[in-house]
Amino acid sequence: MELLNDTVAIVTGGARGIGRAIARELISDGATVVILDRSYPEDFEDVARELRTGGRTLAAKTVDITNTDEVEKVCEEVAAEYGRIDLLVNNAGITRDRILPRMSEAEWDAVLAVNLKGAFNTIRVVARTMMRQRRGRIVNISSVVGLIGNVGQANYAASKAGLFGLTKSVAKELAGRNITVNCVAPGFVETEMTAVLSEEQRAQLLALVPLKRTSRPEEIAGIVAFLASEKAAYITGQVIAVDGGMTM
């Protein structure tokens, strides 16, 4: 049974990694998916053609989510084109790692702009549509780094911790309109972002994980699809760590 039939979803940063896995999962569950991304890898169209088989709808729009005007324009276009927006997944994120005494203002600002302000920009616009519908789901993709911190990632940790507060505050604001807002905090996930780690760094990270393995992007996507479904209608304002036990 397809849990998300007739659902229109926006996924930011959906061209690769966790975002792509989320788009794939949502489409397999029956949703119409619109990906917002700043750039698309060469293999994206191959994946898009695959996902569109069987009459599935997958659209992609280029947008800089740090630009308020661009975000407002594209989200309003999606609402007008499809008639509704049922799900927003704020997945877009970047890193600019450096220990704090050497971190530049530009490195700090870039990470906060994409990871936190980007979510603010999309929620602010999409919430208007959801409030008119009196129904919606918002899922923010954070990180366990926001819970426990990490050396060289003060900017990233601050942005991801900020998503926790944003999630809980907006959940309280929108609950009266039947809109749930939740946060997923992945641990160590196999993506392009983690592929650059050395074997020593990888071993150090896995030593912190009781399950002794990394997670797959599909495991994060499955939680997002659940939170988007009616099965999760009574869950809001929560941070769900998908981390193999790192933070227990």
Active site residues: 156
Chain centroid offset of residue 98 CA: 23
Q: In whole angstroms, give the CA distance from residue 39 to residue 212.
A: 33
Cβ-based neighbours of 62, under 8 Å, separated by 6 or more? 37, 38, 39, 40
Cα separation of the two ends of the chain: 33
Q: In whole angstroms, give the CA distance from residue 4 to residue 179.
A: 16
Length of the chain, please?
248
Q: In whole angstroms, give the CA distance from residue 45 to residue 202.
A: 31
